[in-house]
Chain A
Amino acid sequence: MSTLHEFLSRWAGPARWVGLGGAVLVMVAAFLPWAYLPAALDNVTYYGEPSILQWLGFALGFVTAACLVASPILAAKASPRTRRLLNLNRGATAAATASLVYQAIAAIAVALELGGLITLEPGAWLGVVGAAVAALATRALHAGSDARLRYLPTPAWAQILGIVVVLALVLVAAAYGLGLEDPGAFVAFGTFCGLAAWVLARVGIMGWISAAAAANRSALVLASFVVAFVFPFTQNGSDANMSIAAGVLIFAATAMGLNIVVGLAGLLDLGYIAFLGAGAFTAATLSESAFATLGWHPPFPIVMLIAGCVSALLGLLIGSPTLRVSGDYLAIVTLAFGEIFRITMNNLDGSDGPNITRGSNGIPAIPNLDVFGFNFGESHVIAGFDIGRFANYYWLLLLVLALIIVVFVNLNKSRIGRGWVAIREDERAAEAMGVNVFGLKLLAFAGGAFLAGVAGSVKAHVDVSVTPDQYVFMESAFLVAGIVLGGMGTVGGVLVGAAILKLLPEKLRFFEDYRLLLFGLLLIVMMRFRPEGLLPDQRRQLEFHAEDDELAEEADAQALPDLATAGAALSATKEDRA
């Protein structure tokens, strides 16, 4: 590869023109039909009238071209400081590569959906070829150094505006993506979103956004919450998508609770789903369902608390003996506990034990929540928008998730959170430093269980029925997979992981049968190549890549953003002088 790069780099000048040619081909291709029949993607059969997915292809080509054109102009005209704000050469390479991936996936999707390469129209071929030319040619460009846009002093309003724009884009993308019926289109769109984020990161814009986000935490949190809150309004009362969204939120809330245990305290809990189940069963037996086995029906807020406490109690019960033996044992013991829970729920059916859960039949017909006169089962019209049953639960779950995130973030920043991280990094050193290891571990375990119990109490009402086979080991493994995929110990990572793991199987029914296999492989591959996850915690990234000095410096810079900005500005001026 390096020899190829050396060879190419001699041709950096002409390569720019070749790359530009490829990018133009990609742009032209968007105006040509990609498929023979309208069934594939979002109907890509017209001349001169690109569909949305074709416009996205056009956009990648355009960004490639724009980077290629702007880069030499910037180099010639701009002051050295301005020049180094963005890395347009890297951006061009990334955009061209992204183009290639996107065009190829679109072409493959068309070929698979319509049956064979014969169904591809010239536009698809032109796009792939153009993108391939551009991707190869842009490899010859000088990569240059990291973009410095993230250190650019920006007024707060501009940063907040940036955050709002990004989140608005996320909302639009989520609404559009969920609305896509065609699996090929969904995959192509999902790939585009990932690629776009990557290109922005390579150009240096993502660095600015994350710096802005770091500087305006509260604005970011508020804006994200607003975006999540208005999401149901984009769905025109469609309950199908809202039920998926509610599922994602339940998963995210549970995974967030598990993230305290696994991500912060470093205790691998493979039976976490049992705590969710305990909450759900508690809520079900205390509900107004005709099949509820306990005669007591307290109002829901109290049920929520009881469910949380029952789970926490189970957490203490299982945690207090096992947390003394640390590490790998805990994983297996929690797994065993998960099995004990499932078997016990199955056996409390009146013949093998007292009748509490009605055994494998579970407790069906759990009525909708009715809190303070608001019935969650009824549709409501708010500002002219239909808000269905799942949208109501979506908001409730959003509140629960927000609560869990608040708990998570505050714990993470507190003395307790630092104690957990210390335990995770080195238990003996932590103990020697006076950290109450056992107490903190138990707190993490019981606290995580409490949050899962609360989430479970809502889940019981959303799902209408609660049965033991909803709470099997595979579900625990999924939760762990979600955390690992997104990035252990971070809020954003868990949300991304939960969204990916829940959305993909919902949208890609054909892949239903293979999803477990793919998740298994995903876990192995992630551990092998990116154990820190997609959106890692800086500290954890370091843990996995201890030898990487550049990363360490970056982490230091992140840890002290204000100082780092000042320092970077200083060093930038120094370098400019030299």
Chain B
Amino acid sequence: MDLLIQQLINGLSLGALYALIAVGYTVVYGIVQLINFAHGEVFMMGAFGSYTTWMLMGSPTNLSIGVALGLVLPAMILGGVLVSVGTALLMERFAYRPLRNAPRLAPLISAIGLSIGLQEAVRLFYGQIPGFPDSRRAIPFPVIEGLTGRSIQVGGVTIQHSAIFTLGALLICAALLWWFVNKTRMGRAMQATSQDADTARLMGINVDKAIATAFAVGAALAAVAGVAHGLRYNNIDFQMGFMAGMKAFTAAVLGGIGNINGAVVGGLVLGIVEAMATTYIPGQFGSSAWKDVWAFAILILVLVFRPQGLLGAKVVDRA
């Protein structure tokens, strides 16, 4: 029983990470019906942004818990958000917006280009900044006192502090996002644009701005995920966006792409399934080497049997 609860918690915290990234796919897809294939790289840029912020603060170590959690961590999150939002906005403006009326293959190929380009740019140039570590290898993520390496024991179950951080971040972000989408003018403009961009434009909504906002919102959450990823795995590297992005996309499809609640549910479900698969599938196929295969198998199964996802989505069929 302890094992089940332990794996449930592991799965939830992993799933929260996926969910934070998945929201970015789903928000953008919902508004422009575009799979922002380079979203994984936005997540990676967020992680590197937060690391850069930490370096710029003079790489503080051995802080008191209060300073670490009250000052350093928020600053890192903010720095990561700035970088990832900037990346996403530039991407939208210069790579996607000119292709909005192009055949559907064009933005997708552009996105692959962006994805490769961003990874390589970080790999080649990040380490060239004087004083910064070699970005060709994994970079150890800063130790945040009170979070890194700490855990609490509840019965036979171990809960990492980073897991609590990730889940908490997901809760806060989801609440903020709900408020933003439903209660602010810009959020309602986004909803209107996603329903019918042409009519929204006729109603005086700045559609370009709404679309850019969707990219920015997704990027901000991805940056939070970037920090959570760094805390969870204790390092970051230029390739981290690829697999995480794929999993998050799977989560978005699982929940129903275009549906924000679906992205959150899909992320959590995917995380739990992955954790359970490595524990309960017997024999050689239960080893952790296969867990990515199971995640992608779920993606394919969902597309076969329930292409609209668990919670359903407004837009499913896009030829």
- The answer to whether B106 and A322 have CB atoms under 8 Å apart is no
Judged by a CB distance under 8 angstroms, whether A38 is at the interface is: no
Which residue of B104, B116, B249, B296 is within 8 Å of A327 (Cβ)? B104
Q: CB-defined interface of B278-298 with A at 8 Å, one 1/0 digit per residue?
A: 000000110101101100110
- The answer to whether B107 and A527 have CB atoms under 8 Å apart is yes
Which residue of A324, A329, A343 is within 8 Å of B290 (Cβ)? A343
- The answer to whether B318 and A523 have CB atoms under 8 Å apart is no
Judged by a CB distance under 8 angstroms, whether A524 is at the interface is: yes
CA A340 – CA B293 in complex, angstroms? 5
- The answer to whether B103 and A544 have CB atoms under 8 Å apart is yes
- The answer to whether B318 and A328 have CB atoms under 8 Å apart is yes
- The answer to whether A336 and B296 have CB atoms under 8 Å apart is yes
- The answer to whether B120 and A325 have CB atoms under 8 Å apart is no
Judged by a CB distance under 8 angstroms, whether B18 is at the interface is: no
Judged by a CB distance under 8 angstroms, whether B304 is at the interface is: yes
Residues of the B chain whose Cβ atoms lie less than 8 Å from the Cβ of A544: 102-103, 106
Instruction: Report B231 CB to chain A, min CB distance, Å.
Output: 25
Instruction: Report A492 CB to chain B, min CB distance, Å.
Output: 20
- The answer to whether B292 and A343 have CB atoms under 8 Å apart is yes
Judged by a CB distance under 8 angstroms, whether A347 is at the interface is: yes
Residues of the A chain whose Cβ atoms lie less than 8 Å from the Cβ of B296: 336-337, 339-340
Judged by a CB distance under 8 angstroms, whether B112 is at the interface is: yes
Residues of the A chain whose Cβ atoms lie less than 8 Å from the Cβ of B113: 481, 519-524, 527
- Total cross-chain contacts (CB, 8 A): 151
Q: CB-defined interface of B105-116 with A at 8 Å, one 1/0 digit per residue?
A: 111111011111
Which residues of B in the span 81-128 have a Cβ within 8 Å of any Cβ on A? 95, 98-99, 102-110, 112-121, 124
Which residue of B34, B107, B115 is within 8 Å of A520 (Cβ)? B115
- The answer to whether A480 and B109 have CB atoms under 8 Å apart is yes
Q: Which of A115-123, A155-163, A181-189, A510-518 interfaces with chain B?
A: A510-518
Residue on B nearest A344 in the bound complex, by CB:
B293
Q: CB-defined interface of A319-351 with B at 8 Å, one 1/0 digit per residue?
A: 001101111110111011101100110110001
CA A328 – CA B316 in complex, angstroms? 11
Instruction: Report A440 CB to chain B, min CB distance, Å.
Output: 14
CA A460 – CA B272 in complex, angstroms? 39
- The answer to whether A521 and B99 have CB atoms under 8 Å apart is no
- The answer to whether A528 and B99 have CB atoms under 8 Å apart is yes
Judged by a CB distance under 8 angstroms, whether A133 is at the interface is: no
- The answer to whether A347 and B289 have CB atoms under 8 Å apart is yes
Instruction: Report A471 CB to chain B, min CB distance, Å.
Output: 15
CA A480 – CA B120 in complex, angstroms? 18
A333, A474, A527, A543: residue with the most chain B Cβ atoms closer than 10 Å: A527
Residues of the A chain whose Cβ atoms lie less than 8 Å from the Cβ of B173: none
Instruction: Report B62 CB to chain A, min CB distance, Å.
Output: 37
- The answer to whether B289 and A520 have CB atoms under 8 Å apart is no
Judged by a CB distance under 8 angstroms, whether A278 is at the interface is: no
Residues of the A chain whose Cβ atoms lie less than 8 Å from the Cβ of B287: 347, 352
Residue on A nearest B103 in the bound complex, by CB:
A543
- The answer to whether A328 and B108 have CB atoms under 8 Å apart is yes
Selected A-B contacts with CB under 8 Å, 29 pairs: A270-B112, A321-B300, A328-B108, A332-B246, A332-B249, A333-B300, A335-B246, A336-B300, A339-B246, A340-B292, A340-B296, A344-B293, A354-B284, A516-B119, A519-B116, A520-B112, A520-B114, A520-B119, A521-B117, A522-B113, A523-B117, A524-B114, A527-B106, A527-B107, A527-B110, A528-B99, A531-B99, A531-B102, A544-B102
Residue on B nearest A270 in the bound complex, by CB:
B112
- The answer to whether B319 and A427 have CB atoms under 8 Å apart is yes
CA A521 – CA B112 in complex, angstroms? 10
Judged by a CB distance under 8 angstroms, whether B253 is at the interface is: yes
Residues of the A chain whose Cβ atoms lie less than 8 Å from the Cβ of B317: 325-326
- The answer to whether A328 and B110 have CB atoms under 8 Å apart is no
- The answer to whether A473 and B242 have CB atoms under 8 Å apart is yes
- The answer to whether A428 and B290 have CB atoms under 8 Å apart is no
B: number of interface residues (CB 8 Å): 50
Other than A328-B104, A526-B109, give 12 A-B pairs with Cβ distance below 8 A.
Answer: A326-B319, A327-B318, A329-B253, A335-B246, A337-B300, A343-B292, A344-B293, A488-B105, A520-B113, A520-B115, A524-B117, A531-B99
CA A352 – CA B285 in complex, angstroms? 7
- The answer to whether B109 and A527 have CB atoms under 8 Å apart is yes
CA A329 – CA B34 in complex, angstroms? 10
Which residues of A in the span 489-542 have a Cβ within 8 Å of any Cβ on B? 513-514, 516-517, 519-524, 526-528, 531
Which residue of B34, B35, B106, B316 is within 8 Å of A332 (Cβ)? B35
Residues of the A chain whose Cβ atoms lie less than 8 Å from the Cβ of B95: 524, 527-528
Residue on B nearest A525 in the bound complex, by CB:
B113
User: Given A331-B35, A426-B319, A520 and B246 touching (CB < 8 A)?
Assistant: no
CA A513 – CA B136 in complex, angstroms? 11
Judged by a CB distance under 8 angstroms, whether A266 is at the interface is: yes
Instruction: Report A540 CB to chain B, min CB distance, Å.
Output: 9
Judged by a CB distance under 8 angstroms, whether A369 is at the interface is: no
Judged by a CB distance under 8 angstroms, whether B4 is at the interface is: no
- The answer to whether A480 and B290 have CB atoms under 8 Å apart is no
Residue on A nearest B294 in the bound complex, by CB:
A340
Judged by a CB distance under 8 angstroms, whether A353 is at the interface is: yes
CA A268 – CA B115 in complex, angstroms? 16
Judged by a CB distance under 8 angstroms, whether B236 is at the interface is: no
User: Given A326-B319, A327-B319, A473-B242, A333 and B284 touching (CB < 8 A)?
Assistant: no
CA A353 – CA B285 in complex, angstroms? 7
Residues of the B chain whose Cβ atoms lie less than 8 Å from the Cβ of A520: 112-120
Which residues of B in the span 34-76 have a Cβ within 8 Å of any Cβ on A? 34-35, 37
CA A543 – CA B37 in complex, angstroms? 23
Residues of the A chain whose Cβ atoms lie less than 8 Å from the Cβ of B290: 343, 347, 352-353
Which residue of B99, B249, B307 is within 8 Å of A325 (Cβ)? B307
Judged by a CB distance under 8 angstroms, whether B194 is at the interface is: no
Judged by a CB distance under 8 angstroms, whether A284 is at the interface is: no
Judged by a CB distance under 8 angstroms, whether B250 is at the interface is: yes
CA A522 – CA B110 in complex, angstroms? 9
Residue on B nearest A317 in the bound complex, by CB:
B300
- The answer to whether A336 and B250 have CB atoms under 8 Å apart is yes
Judged by a CB distance under 8 angstroms, whether A314 is at the interface is: no
Nearest 3 interchain pairs by C-beta: A523-B113, A520-B117, A520-B116
Which residues of B in the span 6-58 have a Cβ within 8 Å of any Cβ on A? 34-35, 37
Residues of the B chain whose Cβ atoms lie less than 8 Å from the Cβ of A513: 124
CA A516 – CA B113 in complex, angstroms? 9
Judged by a CB distance under 8 angstroms, whether B220 is at the interface is: no
Instruction: Report B115 CB to chain A, min CB distance, Å.
Output: 7
Residue on A nearest B250 in the bound complex, by CB:
A336
Residues of the B chain whose Cβ atoms lie less than 8 Å from the Cβ of A339: 243, 246, 292, 296
A324, A474, A520: residue with the most chain B Cβ atoms closer than 10 Å: A520
CA A352 – CA B296 in complex, angstroms? 18
CA A290 – CA B257 in complex, angstroms? 49
- The answer to whether A268 and B108 have CB atoms under 8 Å apart is yes
Instruction: Report B110 CB to chain A, min CB distance, Å.
Output: 4
Judged by a CB distance under 8 angstroms, whether B299 is at the interface is: yes
Residues of the A chain whose Cβ atoms lie less than 8 Å from the Cβ of B307: 324-325, 329
A335, A346, A514: residue with the most chain B Cβ atoms closer than 10 Å: A335
